[in-house]
Copies of this chain bind each other. A is one copy, B any other.
Amino acid sequence: MSSPNNREFFSVLTVSAAVAGFRPGRRTPTENVALGEALGRVPSEPVRAPHDLPGFPRSTVDGFAVRAADTYGASDGLPGYLEVLGAVQMGMTADVELRSCGALAIPTGGMMPVGADAVVMIEHTSEAMAGTIEIHRAVAPGEGLVRGDEDAKSGDELTRAGRPLRPHDLGLLASAGVTTVRVHARPRVAILSTGDEVVPYECAELLPGQVRDACALPIAALVREAGGEPVPCGIVPDDPEALREALLGAMTGSDLIVITAGSSVGARDETAGVVASLGEPGIFCHGLALQPGKPTLLAQCGDVPIIGLPGNPRSALVVFRLIGSPLVRLVGGWEAPVHEPVVRARLSRDLPSVAGRLDVVQVRLLDGLAEPIFGKSALLSMLVEADGYLTVPEPATGLDEGADVEVTLYR
């Protein structure tokens, strides 16, 4: 077993310094996807309108297409009179041109006939006699319609690069007839579990001392949520040669490598040693001023970023949310801010903390109170019980009962 001196991490960073400083340059290549598969994908270039949208002037109400000037002065007391020349059919050009003192019935969404510049709502008309309507309210030019380029002009940017496509973005692109979008490929994230005691979770019967792999599956889920494609690489024993071989294999074809490290100091040191041997620039930091999650390794070998997660499952998942998910997004070309659901609450009790360290504390929420859940880093049930988590920032030595806190909700 190592002597106490070997336990010192050789470069412990604050989480904010790590997030700010560890910015690998690797970006996934681009590819075309069908619009129907593009939800959440990250465009690598802006998509521009191939033509004006909606492409022709459309009525926005049910009523009568008119020349606005023909309605001036019309009121309930002194209605104007217009001759009904016909009706616009949905989805067709009007076959009649509007002339002065005429009107064409038009449904919402109908194409404005030539010669008309406004639509009077049907509520502001009445039938005077067969073929003639009374107009009870004047309309201005442009009223009751959208212009042919009002949703977008030809060449306008419809969606921007670097922001994942949202449902309504797909709607605007569909209305423009865009059928494929150029996007960043999903980052391929290799997930290696390590540890002599770890067996696949599908293992029904355990031998004494064995535990099932509790990390690979939730990390894969978090990778998917961040837009990546998890590549499960199985379980590697606590053996430097085996780990080296597995990592070399994973580096080919992966955009990012995640190692759930063995949790003993020996296993941690071995992981760091093997990662350092894989190539320049090597280890960025080994250790974060973070509770739970201190024994975290960040490195880059060639242009492949590598994250070594702590061995305790709860620590590993806390670290992956803080550091791993943003890295997956970065490599995948994501440039927009990420919005997590948060709620404000009052802290139910004093929460001690050590200055200089970020504390991530799971909480239950009840009636506006955030109740911290205390327990060991090895326990996953604490995460499952939690509604979310709060952080005690690095300079603080704790938070007082009743403090106003922001809780990020797990989902």
Q: Whole-angstrom distance between the alpha carbons of A264 and B312 in the complex?
A: 60
Q: Interface readout for A215-230 with B: 1 if CB under 8 Å, 0 if not?
A: 1111111101100000
User: Does A167 lie at the interface of the complex (its beta carbon under 8 Å from any beta carbon of B)?
Assistant: yes
Query: How far is A262 from B107 in the complex, measured between Cα atoms in Å?
Result: 10
Within 8 Å by CB of A410, from B108, B168, B212, lies: B168
Partner of A175, one of B89, B201, B265: B201
Known: A197-B90, A376-B146. A264 touches B313 (CB 8 A): no
- With A202-B177, A208-B93 as known contacts, state yes or no: A171 contacts B109, CB within 8 Å: no
Contact B60 A376 (CB under 8 A): yes
A interface, CB within 8 angstroms of B:
1-2, 4, 7, 35-36, 39, 53-56, 58, 60, 62, 87, 89-93, 105, 107-111, 122-123, 126, 146, 150-152, 158-159, 164, 166-172, 174-177, 179, 195-198, 201-204, 206-222, 224-225, 238, 262-267, 311-314, 317, 339-343, 376-381, 383-384, 409-411
Known: A209-B92, A218-B171. A378 touches B62 (CB 8 A): no
CA distance A159 to B376 in the complex (A): 20
Contact B39 A221, beta carbon cutoff 8 Å: yes
Q: Is the CB of B4 within 8 A of A123?
A: yes
Select which of B53, B92, B174, B380 is within 8 A of A151 by beta carbon. B380
Separation in Å of the A145 CB from the closest CB of chain B?
9
B109 touches A411 (CB 8 A): no
* Residues in B whose Cβ lies below 8 Å from that of A107: 1, 263-267
Which partner residue on chain B sits nearest A36 by CB separation? B217
Instruction: Out of B93, B264, B377, name the residue touching A110 (CB < 8 Å).
Output: B264
- The answer on a CB contact under 8 Å between A62 and B264 is yes
- The reply to whether B339 and A122 form a contact with Cβ atoms under 8 Å apart is no
Q: Which residue of B lies closest to A87 (CB)?
A: B1
Tell which of B195, B202, B342 touches A179, judged by Cβ atoms closer than 8 Å.
B202
> Contacts A91-B210, A266-B107; is A171 near B215 (CB within 8 Å)?
yes
- Of the listed residues A2, A93, A171, the one surrounded by the most CB atoms of chain B closer than 10 A to its CB is A171
Instruction: With both chains docked as a complex, state the minimum distance between the C-beta of A21 and any C-beta of chain B, in angstroms.
Output: 26
Cβ B60 vs Cβ A168 within 8 A: no
> 18 more A-B contacts (CB under 8 A) besides A91-B197, A93-B209, A177-B206?
A35-B201, A35-B217, A60-B376, A90-B264, A91-B198, A91-B209, A92-B207, A107-B266, A109-B211, A151-B380, A151-B381, A167-B219, A167-B222, A168-B380, A168-B384, A169-B384, A179-B202, A339-B409
